[in-house]
Amino acid sequence: MSRVLSRISTSMPWLDQAAAVLKQLSEPILGGKAPAVLKDALYGTWLEHPLHPAITDVPVGCWTATAAFDLLGEERAADASLKLGVLGAAGAALTGLAQWYDLQEMEEPRRLGALHATMNTAALGMYVTSWVLRDRGQRDAGVAIALAGFAIAGTSAWIGGHLSFVLGIGVSRQAFEEPSTKWRTALPETELVEGQMKRVEVRDTPVVLLKQGDQIYATSATCTHVGGPLDEGELDGTCVTCPWHGSQFDLRDGTLLHGPATVQLHAYETRVSDGKVQIRLKQETTD
């Protein structure tokens, strides 16, 4: 089924226009001039986990309950769950835009994300219409429109699953790294230049090192957002900004400072032995 969505993406270039409109509409809250605090809140930086998947459980769960209650004839419960789902959908839309906003250079995520958003908007419109019809006493019409909205929302959720589990959007790009908890040689100390980042491969794991005075810091070299090379980013003290989408990390301990990344970096202890820099994963990151 994933091939179906890949074909949809390549056969629907008109989705690029929809994506451009969505990006323009979200510019005030997600663009370069938007407050970092607001963007981090929508990304889920504070949660250390993408916020969007958690929020989507609200409308999906509520509208599933609505369908069940409608079929059982539980009118008050159906109406209440429908309205809660509509309110939750607003949060899901904002967090979804945040997760998608920085993926414009990636064709399939850009297009399928735009299709996902368009279908969710259509489903939300149907549920709002159902809300109005129910309040006016036109229950049968309201139930029918809600069921149609449920079908569209379910199809859109399938696309969302493809974005997450096939294309890896929202998945930490260091998830499959296997950093060693034993001391491993990274490079000769003489290869480090004061105040400059150095990328090395340690047992097939990319690591960036930074020497400042007597201290040597080491973290994963891969941005957890979509894999940007941190060693090519802008360094300010011990803070590095990913060159791709602007996520910021502290190289002293891998702490995530600003999104769109939502997961901190693997951080390493360092030591110098016989003129060579050795590293091992900091134990607190393995808990």
pLDDT average per 10 residues of sequence, the chain (287 residues) = 80 92 94 93 94 95 97 96 96 95 93 95 97 96 97 95 93 91 95 96 95 96 96 96 96 96 96 95 65
Burial (CB < 10 A; 0-12, 13-18, 19+), residue 215, is: exposed
Instruction: Report the C-alpha gap between 27 and 165 in whole angstroms.
Output: 27
Instruction: Report the C-alpha gap between 96 and 57 in whole angstroms.
Output: 12
Who's near 61: CB < 8 A, 6+ residues apart?
Answer: 85
Burial (CB < 10 A; 0-12, 13-18, 19+), residue 138, is: middle
Instruction: Report the C-alpha gap between 70 and 169 in whole angstroms.
Output: 34
Reference 251, options 177, 178, 196, 191; nearest CA is 196
Burial (CB < 10 A; 0-12, 13-18, 19+), residue 249, is: buried
Strand spans (E) along the chain: 184-188, 197-202, 205-212, 215-220, 234-236, 239-241, 248-250, 255-258, 267-273, 276-281
Task: State residue 286's pLDDT score.
Answer: 41
| Backbone φ, ψ for residue 34 (5° rounding) | -75, 150
Reference 113, options 1, 8, 3; nearest CA is 8
